[in-house]
Structure formats: C-alpha cells, structure tokens
Structure 1
C-alpha cells in the first residue's frame, strides 16, 4: 500500500464522514478537531508502517498538503535496523505514559 492510501485509510478511521482527502493540510486536520494525541498517533503510525524517521521539516509544517507529505515520506529510506519498530514503540509508550503523569493532560 502506498503512503497516500495508508494516510487516507487512517483519515477515514479518524473522520468516518470522509471529509478529508489528500488535498487537506495538517492545519485542516487541526481545525477539524483532531487532538494532539491523535495527530501524534497518526505520525507514529506512518513511521511504524514504513520504518522511517519523519524529519521535523515534514512534521512541523501545518500548511503541507497531505498528498505532498505522502510523496516526501515515499522518498525517505526505510530503516534497516531490525530493532527499529521495537525502539519506536518503546518511545511511543514512554510518551503516552508521560502524558498520564502530566498534571496538565486532560483526556477527552
């Protein structure tokens, strides 16, 4: 499955109404009430699926169109580290645990 199809499937899971497609931007998703935890999950899911580390130039650009984002992700070389997914999952679980210990964190 190519990256754009993967993104579209995730968007359909997050927004079952199907209101977003590849022409949406990250800002559109944020304006569409996607919370920070869901957006983080969205990005980590891409990293896990394609075994890539997303550079900040891609993740810190709210005006990037998802079609362009998918093309940039496809250009990245997958990691050949056999422990890549394990280490990434450990990072994700540590970050989620930190959210629950953060006094300012509120679950919606």
Structure 2
C-alpha cells in the first residue's frame, strides 16, 4: 500500500471515529435530557402531594405558593443543611461515574 492510500485509509478511520464520537455525544445529551425530565416530573409530583386538589391551581398560583414557602427561614435552613450534606458526600466520593461508563462502553464494543 502506498503512502497516499495509507493517508486516505487513516482519514476514513478518523472520520468514522468522529462520527462515533458525535453519536455518543448525542446519546449522552438525550440520556441527560431524559433524566432531567424524569427529575422534574418527580419533583412536581412531590410538590403536588402537599396541595389539596392540585389541578385547581394555575401555574402562577403554584409559583406564588412556592415563592412564599421557599422564603421562610426554616426552608432556607433546611436547604443549606442539605447543601452541606451534599458537599460532604461529594468530597468523600470522587466522581467515578464517567470512568465507569467509559469502561462499560469499551466492554460493549469487545
């Protein structure tokens, strides 16, 4: 195989790898969007459990309720405590999720 053919073959491999990377990035974005949507649904459902007949309230009314609820010192203290707990948990447990996912993808390809 001459040098020009090797160069062209390498370009094709690079293009294939770029396409593969693009597909993986799209998949990761889609999965993140799915997780975000699920979280929003769960949080909304949790909020609705505290309302009597939640369907009666408009979006603006529920927003006003949340603004008042989140303005209380008790809720602010609770949120600050949770933030501290999350920060401590993140310090103890380094982010290995990315490495684990990469390992899983490599195993799938083999």
Task: Provide the TM-score with structure 1 as the length reference.
Answer: 0.28
Using CA pairs under 8 Å that are at least 6 residues apart, name the structure with larger relative contact order, 1 or 2. Answer: 1
Q: Which structure carries more helix by proportion?
A: 2
Q: Highest CA radius of gyration, 1 or 2?
A: 2
Task: Provide the TM-score with structure 2 as the length reference.
Answer: 0.28
